[in-house]
Amino acid sequence: MVQSMLNARADDVEANLRQIDSLAEAGCEVVRMAIPRRDCLDAFEGVCEKSPLPVVADIHFDPEIAIQAAKRGAAKLRINPGNIGGLDATVPVLDAAREAGIPIRIGVNAGSLDQELAARTDLTLPQKLAASAAQYARFCEKCGFTDLVVSAKAHDVMTTVQTYRQLASDLPHIPLHIGVTEAGTQFQGIIKSASGLGILLEQGIGDTLRISLTDDPVNEVRACWALLSALDLRRRGPELISCPTCGRCQVNLIDLAAKVEERLRSVKAPVKVAVMGCIVNGPGEARDADIGVACGKGSGAVFVKGEVVRKVPEDQIVDALMEELA
C-alpha cells in the first residue's frame, strides 16, 4: 500500500484535509499526521472525522499523546522505541491501541536509536536498527499485543536494504513498512528510494511504502506508483515509454513527451503509451505499448498495438494520442 505524510500545520484541520484530498486523488492509500503537541489533538480528531483515508498518528516523546490519539480516531499509531520513554511507558499505549482496535507501527530510525544500543561497538548499524525494532516488537507481543507493523529506516540506501533483509528474517510474521528516510529533494530522493525499495520489493520485502521527499507529498505518491508499476507489482495509471533523443530525431521530442506525460495525469487506466523520436524506435521497440507515436520530420505516425492507424503533423500528435486513448 502507498503511504505519504502530511506537512501542513498540525493545528490546521482544513489545510490537512485539503492535502489529504490531493493525496487521495494521486493514489495515496494511507496518510500519516504528526502530532507534535497535546494542543494539536483536537485538530487531529477533526481531521480523522472527515478524512477519506485512514490517518496514522505520528508521535514522539510523549506517550500520553499516543493514548489520546487512539481515543480520537487514529487508524494506527506510529511510535519510536528510541524516544517514547522506554518499555514501561509503552504499556499504556498498547492498552489504548488494543481498546481502540488499531495497530501500532514500531518505527525505528538511525538518528534516534536507543542510547544503550547505539553505543554498542560489536554491531553494525543495520544490526542495531533491526535489533531495536525486533526487541520492541517482542516486548509488545509479550504484553499480548500482536497487531504490529515495523519499520527501520536510514538515509543510506544499503543500510536500509540490509536492515530490512534482517527484519524480514527475524520477524517474518510482522508486516514491514519500507522507506529510505531523509532521502532528499525530488531528484536525489526518488533515485535513492527507487534503488533501495526496488531491491526490497523485488525480493518480496515490504507491505506498505513511502518515498520520502523534501517536496510536495503528492510527488511522493506519484513516485511510489511509478516504482510499483516499473516492478509490475501494481498499476494504477498510464506508463509512458519514450526514447532518448539523438541526431535522427526531427521533432521537439522532449517537449512532446512532457506534454503527453502531463495529459496522462488525468488518466486512471493502466495503459502503456509510447512516444518515439524516429522510426528506429517506433512500433518495433514499443510493440507492447497500447498506443504510441513514431515521429518523422515534423510529423508522427500514430500506432495502436503496433499497427499504424494514421499520420498527423507534429502540432497534432498529443491530441491524436489522447483521441486514440479515449
Summarize pLDDT for 154-200 with one digit per residue, the tens: 999 999 999 999 999 999 999 999 999 999 999 999 999 999 999 99
Whether 283 shows a pLDDT value over 80: the answer reads no
pTM of the model: 0.91
Please give the CATH architecture assigned to the domain spanning 3-230: Alpha-Beta Barrel (3.20)
Query: What pLDDT band is residue 287 in, cutting at 50, 70 and 90?
Result: confident
Q: Any idea what DSSP says for residue 244?
A: P
Whether 59 shows a pLDDT value over 80: the answer reads yes
Query: What pLDDT band is residue 281 in, cutting at 50, 70 and 90?
Result: low
At residue 234, the pLDDT reads 95
Cα 33 to Cα 98: distance, rounded to the nearest angstrom: 20
The percent of residues above 90 in pLDDT, for the chain, comes to 83
Query: What pLDDT band is residue 280 in, cutting at 50, 70 and 90?
Result: confident
Extents of the domains making up the chain: 3-230, 239-325
Averaged pLDDT, 94-112: 94
Query: What pLDDT band is residue 74 in, cutting at 50, 70 and 90?
Result: very high
Same topology, domains 3-230 and 239-325? Answer is no
| Core vs surface per residue 43-56: b (16+ CB within 10 A) or e | bbbbbbeebebbbb
The alpha carbon of 271 is separated from its chain's Cα centroid by a whole number of angstroms, namely 21
Query: What pLDDT band is residue 245 in, cutting at 50, 70 and 90?
Result: confident
Domain 239-325 coded CATH 3.30.413.10 = yes
Q: Which cell is 142 given?
A: 509479550
Query: What pLDDT band is residue 257 in, cutting at 50, 70 and 90?
Result: very high
